[in-house]
Structure 1
Amino acid sequence: MIHIFKKSIPALALALLSFSSCDKWLDLKPQDGVVAEDYWKTKEQVRAAVNGLYISLITPVYGNRHLSQELFMHGEIRTDMVDISTFAPQAYTEYRFADMLPTNSFSNWGMFYKIINYCNNIIDHAPAVKDLDPTLTQRDLDAYVGEALAIRAWMYLNLARIWGDVPIKLTYTASDEDLVSIAKSSQNDVLKAVVADLVRAEPMVRETFGSTAADKGKITRHTVNALLADVYLWQDEFQKAADACDEIIDAGVFELVSGDPSTWLAELFGQGNSVEGIFELQYDRQQLNPFFALFRLNAIYTAGQNVYEGLFQFDATDPENFDVRGDRGALSTATNMIYKYHGVNRTQSKFLEDSYTHWMVYRYADVLLMKAEALNGLNRGQEALDLIYTIRERGNAMQGNDLNPGADDQQGITTFIVEERAREFAYEGKRWFDVLRNARRNNYERLDLVTSMIVNYAPADRQQAMLGKYRDVDSHYLPIYYIEIQRSGGVLKQNPFYGN
């Protein structure tokens, strides 16, 4: 059973979210307690529902955790990019050191399914409004439904990457009485459903909303194509992934920001909504992000001990020659703090009240490296390398971490891409998924990508036990939360690594 609600259901989205003259989000939150049949009557209500969907992406919607906080955890906690501090509760330690049990609260997928239900509400009910309100145009209706389809697809992509096989629920659940027990679908079928939603959404959504904040903070056709490229890579559909990347590249509206050390962090993260951003969760002064507590004030996460010297490296002969993405880019070597979400620029940090750095879902650098991965899968190694070196040149990557693979060395290029993605997207919630996606191809031909990463961070007294677990590929996906198993009445089966 996918348990989403307790006693009543919000119709989601009674908020009227709009953009102010300074292109910032207004902090108008969804109200609860209105049932669907009393709600879906006007185009303003449809717009409010979609705006409320975006609000759910930046505010706590399940417990007290933000979606970005959840995505960071699932993308980074099992990797060599982070350490967890003594402030981290036991659940974090269990997750990091492969001691997860179905009782661990981080195995609860409720946040993702709650957002999916918000999407289903719009997809199911918005079309009927056109018959009640003739001022709702077909173009606007299509765009609204397309945005909900794309966000639903994004949530299911996350579920498939984190839990593997999961239930698919494509209709709205209004109350506990409407809940039914749904068996899991295979990861392959979930990914097919993701593609189906995105292919349907792609011609429906807008290319532009006419303002920078909206174009970066809402679903556009470019966002849909970035999602398509991502899921196609998980399906090993390399030509389709490359084609989706080309849709974005050929649009000509994105480019890499300058690698100038004085502006790179400031443009991409300090300010946000740069020419490189494709889809960013739009925190602002009215809705702060959760990162100050996670990374700075009694920080739960710190940078991994070997990230700077091992991954970014440095030039001992020339202190002015450095990777802009390293010290005071991704992390602070002086304090081992994850810096990316706190820096105004390389020399100035934000205060708590300024903690509104966006969560980057996709940016143009990701498109270029996804295309490189696709081209490598198509045995077009030189083209893949050209894109990798474009990213390295922008970041001023150190010569010492240039693996210099040959154009016909497909496995060497794979390793190079995975390492470069670690540098480029440090602490953006991508590391575990990048490693897993590349490791699992061809029946886990590159399981070494997982095991070598475990060796990089596992304490000596845990290393062999962790390696033993990670060599069982079923361990790469989380257990289903025990309450879901109990509520399903035997319909939901536990993921194989964790028993039945």
Structure 2
Amino acid sequence: MKHIKYIVMAVSISLLGACSEWLDLRPESEIVLDDYWQTESQATAVLSAGYRALILPAAIERMLVWGELRSDNLVEGSGTNLDMLRMMNVNITPTNLYADWGIFYEIINYCNTFLHYAPEVVKKDQNFTESKLHQMEAEALAIRSFAYFYLVRAFRDVPLILEPSIHDLQEYEQPKAAEREILNQIIDDLLKAKQFARADYGKGAYNKGRFTRNAINALLADVYLWDQQYANCIAVCQEVIDDKTLKLVEGDKVMNEVFYLGNSTESIFELQFDKDIQHNTTVNWAYGYSGVPTGQLSFPLFLTSKGNFSPFNYAASAIKESTEDLREDHFIGTSVNGTGYSILKYAVINVTENADGTFTPRYRTSAATTNWVVYRLSDIMLMQAEALVQLSPDNTQNFRSALTLVNTTYLRSNETADSLSFNAYANQSDMEKLVLRERQRELMFEGKRWFDLMRIVRRKGDPSAILAYLSPKLSGDNMQLKRLSVIDGLYMPVSKAELDINPKLTQNPFYEDENFVNP
């Protein structure tokens, strides 16, 4: 099932135990569809398989690689694999491992299969009501939208497939759809899903690990921000912020409660892992653990408070931001790893301060595993701040509201600092850069930074707007800068394997231009 063509009629689902155990299902066997869709539990199992596919290593790796690897946040660590090195060196080709989008189309096919067959089950199982169906359809639409949103941000134009792959007579060779068509589909699906989504599932892991109304709003806000629909982004962010069940964790407890224990009070949606079912192996090799505290990725030396390009100890007008920011001490280690410092977020249980002002991380063991946080309250606050800044170039009230949001996340990690003053950020450009710095400080290593930078490129219509952030990590090779100066080159190539089996697909033109390929 590596390629779209081969994602055919069978769906792998679990037949072990109660199918209501959503987050514990393990794909085991292939079911013939004609004999399958009879009961609520069978419909439930297919939807559960869609959730289960989201936590497979191939999916999590791409969420991290597509969303963070090429940004200024990450450089080579210990034993970095060749395909990641090539991406960081701005030398991506269609044979790169991470040009393979197959896992996301597998996820999409689970959702399409459920949406196609589940309505018939209502007629066959009296316990499967229309209300239950609509709630589960909302989840399927949200999962499918989630997958397409990753694809459109990584590749821009991709095939838009809304019907399940269920028999050999179907046309599997699909051309690309334009980004605009895909974004419209995502937004339409999420707006429909909101109408029927549950606010609460009555169980902590389910509330954080399944698509609730808050999770759908978080995804929708992200899509609106990418699509530059700022007023809509502000509105749906506010719906999430207004939910009083969500609360920021105290600054010194973030590492333990948010990134080790998981399902915290500020979590909105996170992918659930369990040591007995599925380890989050991606964060193990990427960031490290007690046995191997140096992962394949590290944080660049130039971005620490001693570096020239750091978001920490940053001089803004007459003030300095983040001079004693917990996030620098808690998220980033002091041990040199490859070409940077070791990464602590996801790798440790907690970080304690010593009497001499230094910090000691307590690494988790390889037997422990962590969830992958997709959306949390601080992210939503900073999305809204970004949208407020972009909504109007000279709206002082919007800027003040954005600064209030930034101060909320900033002050929990800068406990003895004064609030950031409005006078230090006099215009839209200053506010835009402040929000970007705060998102970097708050969300580093969570698969967000490259997409944050890409939103700048999309607004400006010019890749040069982000070269100042990326150039310090480059080798100085003119070809690297040349490749980063073309918008098409900031999106991934279509995998050669996909092109070989689907003649209707076309390559991103950048990757066929002789001016940008290796001689």
Q: Could you state the TM-score of these two structures normalised by the residue count of structure 1?
A: 0.90
1:210, distance to aligned residue in structure 2 (A) = 0.5
Q: Give 1:306's aligned residue.
A: 302
Check the 8 A contact 1:127/1:141 in 2, yes or no: yes
Mapping 1:375-386, distance limit 5 Å: 375-379=388-392, 380-386=398-404
Q: Give 1:350's aligned residue.
A: 364
Q: Give 1:62's aligned residue.
A: none
Mapping 1:451-490, distance limit 5 Å: 451-460=467-476, 462=477, 464-489=478-503
* Aligned residue type for 2:326: V
Seen in structure 2, the aligned counterparts of structure 1 residues 321 and 414 have a Cα distance that, compared at 3 Å, is: closer
Describe the superposition over 1:134-160 as per-residue Cα deviations: whole angstroms up to 9, x where unpaired.
Answer: 110111111111101001001111111
* Aligned residue type for 2:125: D
* Aligned residue type for 2:298: T
Describe the superposition over 1:290-334 as per-residue Cα deviations: whole angstroms up to 9, x where unpaired.
Answer: 12222223732122222322435369xxxx97312122x222123
Q: Give 2:331's aligned residue.
A: 330
| C-alpha distance in 2 between matches for 1:403 and 1:333 | 31
Q: Give 2:208's aligned residue.
A: 216
Q: Identity across aligned pairs (percent)?
A: 32
Partner-residue secondary structure (3-state), 1:334: strand
Mapping 1:232-311, distance limit 5 Å: 232-259=224-251, 261=252, 263-286=253-276, 287-290=278-281, 291-296=283-288, 297=292, 299-309=295-305, 310=307, 311=310
Q: Give 1:36's aligned residue.
A: 33
Check the 8 A contact 2:267/2:376 in 1, yes or no: yes
Partner-residue secondary structure (3-state), 1:386: helix
Seen in structure 2, the aligned counterparts of structure 1 residues 439 and 164 have a Cα distance that, compared at 3 Å, is: same
* Aligned residue type for 1:68: I
1:81, distance to aligned residue in structure 2 (A) = 0.9
1:4, distance to aligned residue in structure 2 (A) = 3.3
In the alignment, structure 1 residue 370 sits paired with structure 2 residue 362: no
1:228, distance to aligned residue in structure 2 (A) = 0.8
Greater shift, 246-255 or 394-403, is seen at: 394-403
Partner-residue secondary structure (3-state), 1:101: coil
1:219, distance to aligned residue in structure 2 (A) = 0.5
Mapping 1:54-93, distance limit 5 Å: 54-59=51-56, 65-85=57-77, 87-93=79-85
Structure 1 gap ranges (5+)? 60-64
Q: Give 2:354's aligned residue.
A: none
| C-alpha distance in 2 between matches for 1:314 and 1:19 | 51
Q: Give 2:356's aligned residue.
A: none
| C-alpha distance in 2 between matches for 1:256 and 1:243 | 20
Describe the superposition over 1:97-156 as per-residue Cα deviations: whole angstroms up to 9, x where unpaired.
Answer: 111111212111111111111111111111110011111011111111110100100111
RMSD across aligned positions (CA): 2.6
Partner-residue secondary structure (3-state), 2:30: coil
Partner-residue secondary structure (3-state), 1:326: helix
Describe the superposition over 1:173-197 as per-residue Cα deviations: whole angstroms up to 9, x where unpaired.
Answer: 1255534221111112111111011
Q: Give 1:147's aligned residue.
A: 139
Check the 8 A contact 1:312/1:398 in 2, yes or no: no
1:9, distance to aligned residue in structure 2 (A) = 4.3
Check the 8 A contact 1:9/1:33 in 2, yes or no: no
Partner-residue secondary structure (3-state), 2:108: helix
Q: Could you state the TM-score of these two structures normalised by the residue count of structure 2?
A: 0.86
Seen in structure 2, the aligned counterparts of structure 1 residues 486 and 307 have a Cα distance that, compared at 3 Å, is: same
Greater shift, 201-210 or 374-383, is seen at: 374-383
* Aligned residue type for 1:345: N
| C-alpha distance in 1 between matches for 2:5 and 2:189 | 24
1:397, distance to aligned residue in structure 2 (A) = 8.0
Check the 8 A contact 1:312/1:326 in 2, yes or no: no
1:473, distance to aligned residue in structure 2 (A) = 0.8
* Aligned residue type for 1:187: E
Q: Give 2:14's aligned residue.
A: 14
Greater shift, 32-41 or 8-17, is seen at: 8-17
Instruction: Number of aligned residue pairs: give it.
Output: 479
Question: Which of the residues 95, 98, 105 maps onto 1:103?
Answer: 95
1:434, distance to aligned residue in structure 2 (A) = 0.5
Partner-residue secondary structure (3-state), 2:348: coil
Partner-residue secondary structure (3-state), 1:337: strand
* Aligned residue type for 2:488: D
Partner-residue secondary structure (3-state), 1:275: coil
| C-alpha distance in 2 between matches for 1:190 and 1:408 | 37
Partner-residue secondary structure (3-state), 1:251: coil
Q: Give 1:495's aligned residue.
A: 508
Seen in structure 2, the aligned counterparts of structure 1 residues 34 and 97 have a Cα distance that, compared at 3 Å, is: same
Seen in structure 2, the aligned counterparts of structure 1 residues 353 and 420 have a Cα distance that, compared at 3 Å, is: same
| C-alpha distance in 2 between matches for 1:376 and 1:321 | 25
| C-alpha distance in 2 between matches for 1:95 and 1:176 | 36
Seen in structure 2, the aligned counterparts of structure 1 residues 331 and 400 have a Cα distance that, compared at 3 Å, is: farther
Mapping 1:420-435, distance limit 5 Å: 420-435=438-453
Mapping 1:153-172, distance limit 5 Å: 153-172=145-164
1:203, distance to aligned residue in structure 2 (A) = 1.1
Seen in structure 2, the aligned counterparts of structure 1 residues 15 and 201 have a Cα distance that, compared at 3 Å, is: farther
* Aligned residue type for 2:178: S
